[in-house]
Amino acid sequence: DIQMTQSPPSLSASVGDRVTITCRASQGISNYLAWYQQQPGKVPKLLIYAASTLQSGVPSRFSGSGSGTDFTLTISSLQPEDIATYYCQKYNSPLTFGQGTRLEIK
């Protein structure tokens, strides 16, 4: 099975910082890649799909890029409400998630 590896596992940044999270697939997955945000105690929320398409209603400070095996999620200017764990997921079956990146405010 294709494995999804996120880095870093955790990250501490200041409000206003540019933040980048990476996700690597063990084999090529084209652009079947989504990013989800899970705020503490809440249900995951879709941020990005098809590697770079912003889900409706998601702030434009979030962006995604990549194709094949290497993908990134970027937050251009970190806001306090962005404190969450972020997961990548490949969605050509099996629908494997990355292990998550916990983002904290410094």
Interface ranges with another protein (CB under 8 A):
1, 32, 34, 36, 38, 43-46, 49, 55, 85, 87, 89, 91-100
Instruction: Quote the least distance from Cβ 99 to another protein, whole Å.
Output: 5
CB of 67 or CB of 99, closer to another protein: 99
Measured distance CA(55)–CA(39) in Å, rounded: 17
Half-sphere exposure of 20 (CA within 13 A, CB side): 6
Measured distance CA(68)–CA(30) in Å, rounded: 4
Residue whose structure tokens are 């979030």: 62
**Residues 6+ positions from 56 with CB-CB distance below 8 Å:** none
CB of 9 or CB of 59, closer to another protein: 9
Instruction: Quote the least distance from Cβ 77 to another protein, whole Å.
Output: 25
Measured distance CA(58)–CA(30) in Å, rounded: 23
CB of 26 or CB of 77, closer to another protein: 26
CB of 13 or CB of 50, closer to another protein: 50
Instruction: Quote the least distance from Cβ 62 to another protein, whole Å.
Output: 14
